[in-house]
Amino acid sequence: MMRHSIFSLARNALSHHERWPRQWRSPSPKPAYDVVIIGAGGHGLATAYYLAKEHGISNVAVLEKGWLGGGNTGRNTTIVRSNYLWDESAAIYEKSLKLWEGLSRDLDYNVMLSQRGVLNLAHNLHDIREGRRRVYANQLCGIDAEWLSPAEVKAFCPILNTSPAIRYPVLGSTLQRRAGVARHDAVAWGYARAADARGVDIIENCEVTGFRIEQGRVMGVETTKGFIGARAVGCVAAGHSSVLAQMAGFRLPIQSHPLQALVSEPIKPILDCVVMSAAVHVYVSQSDKGELVIGAGIDAYNSYAQRGSFHVIESLMGALIELFPMFSRLKMMRSWGGIVDVCPDASPIIGATPVEGLYFNCGWGTGGFKAIPGSGWAFAYNLAKGEPHALNAPFSLDRFRTGALIDEHGAAAVSH
């Protein structure tokens, strides 16, 4: 049972929000910390929380150039699942999903996890082979995964057009029933509040502009609020990881792309699962407000602009209406974009860099929201111990030298 009772909800609903207590402090930075985290997105905040909770390290600052949760964490379409192909990925995403399942209780903050099931549709022979292979691989790892025939897809999602007459008919689908959606802002706010309560300083409007590096070791960061010393620095700045790596004097195998999404006007409940199609480039779910939350793959060009192109919207709308003809009369309300950092193998980089004491967690591409709890948990271990946990060891930067890539293009689900 959540500590926030129905009475406290009612009291807050009737009170003036000006009197609500702040959920986290707004401290000035101290001269130095044990650990400085760059980026107050979900990953950075979760890392700080688990550093304090699991390792007793609370002399930690999270530095954010804007407002917390204002990056991809507050711009994503909130799909949570763990149905990745390779054992290394399945392990970290499933750890994450397990943490999601207890997160509201752990943070004492309702992150509104809704395990409504996620379909990944197949429209051609390649999709069928890839989807079935992934279902078998997931089952071998103990992850719930099913393969559905077109008739079973129709039974699971009756409003989906499974007619064989459409351009790209539905030939089957993977289904993960434990997958679903969560409330993106609540995840950032919940971790922020819980980290703050354990003594972590969250410092907004504080941009990192450089690193102080002496004899190959990081000593701290230069910021718009002055120099801040640190024994270890964790950089979790999705969308700007390459920019920060350049400041530290090395390059990452990352390309930054816009990824956009949009929502419809709110309507009554009509869609009670998540439907994704990598082949026709569209995915959709319905939010608790009633809006359809819709997206597609990345915009193909590199950019640091937080907006996407109209032609992507046009083609995703074509795909959406073919799969859900009844949506054709809906009005679209608003669209927005984020910047995603994409690695060549569509897997993240979590761990050490060429600079001693400086660690990066980046390259989550289009799929890092679901990973926030697991990634934060493993990255906190890495920062606390100075060596990777088994969960993040395979995702080292070094894999681009050794060739031990973890190709997750199939599971990435919206194309990279």
d(CA 391, CA 385): 14
Q: Determine contact, residues 72/185, Cβ cutoff 8 Å.
A: no
Which stretch, 25-33, 76-84, 159-167, 375-383, contacts ligand PYC (CB under 6 A)? 76-84
Q: Give 5-30 as a DSSP string.
A: -HHHHHHHHHS-GGGSPPSS--PPPP
Nearer to ligand FAD, 40 or 218 (CB): 40
Neighbour-count burial of 10, counting CB atoms closer than 10 A to its CB (0-12 exposed, 13-18 middle, 19+ buried): exposed
What is the Cα–Cα distance from 277 to 342, expressed in whole angstroms? 19
Site for ligand PYC in 341-400 (CB under 6 A): 366-367
Token reading at 131: 């989807």
Cβ-contact 100, 113 below 8 angstroms? yes
CA contacts within 13 A on the Cβ side of 60: 33
Is residue 275 a contact point for ligand FAD (CB under 6 A)?
Answer: no
Q: For the CB of residue 381, give the shortest distance to ligand FAD in the complex, in Å.
A: 17
Chosen from ligand PYC, ligand FAD, none, partner binding at 275 (C-beta under 5 to 8 Å by type): none
Sign of the four-CA dihedral 44, 45, 49, 52: positive
| Site map 7..46 versus ligand FAD, x via CB under 6 A | -------------------------------xxxxxxx--
Minimum CB distance to ligand PYC, residue 360 (Å):
20
Quick one: what does residue 413 bind among ligand FAD, ligand PYC, none, with the CB cut-off 5 to 8 Å set by partner type? ligand PYC
Pair type for strands 274-277 and 32-38 = unpaired
Distance of CA 107 to CAs 20, 213, 284, Å? 19, 36, 28
Interface with ligand PYC includes 283 (CB under 6 A)? yes
Residue 78 near ligand FAD by CB under 6 A = yes
Judged by CB under 6 A, the residue of 35, 90, 259, 380 near ligand FAD is 259
**Considering only 25-33, 122-130, 230-238, 404-412, which stretch makes contact with ligand FAD by CB under 6 A?**
230-238
Q: Does 410 bind ligand FAD (CB under 6 A)?
A: no
| Nearer CB in complex with ligand PYC: 370/399 | 370
Task: Identify any residues that bridge with 334 across adjacent strands, giving them in sequence order.
Answer: 263
3-state secondary structure of 95: helix
Smaller CB separation from ligand PYC, 118 or 358: 118
Which residues would be at the binding site for ligand PYC (CB under 6 A)?
77, 79, 81, 283, 295, 366-367, 413-414
Chain contacts with ligand FAD (rule: CB under 6 A): 38-44, 63-66, 70-73, 75-79, 207-208, 236-240, 244, 259-261, 295, 338, 340, 364, 366-370
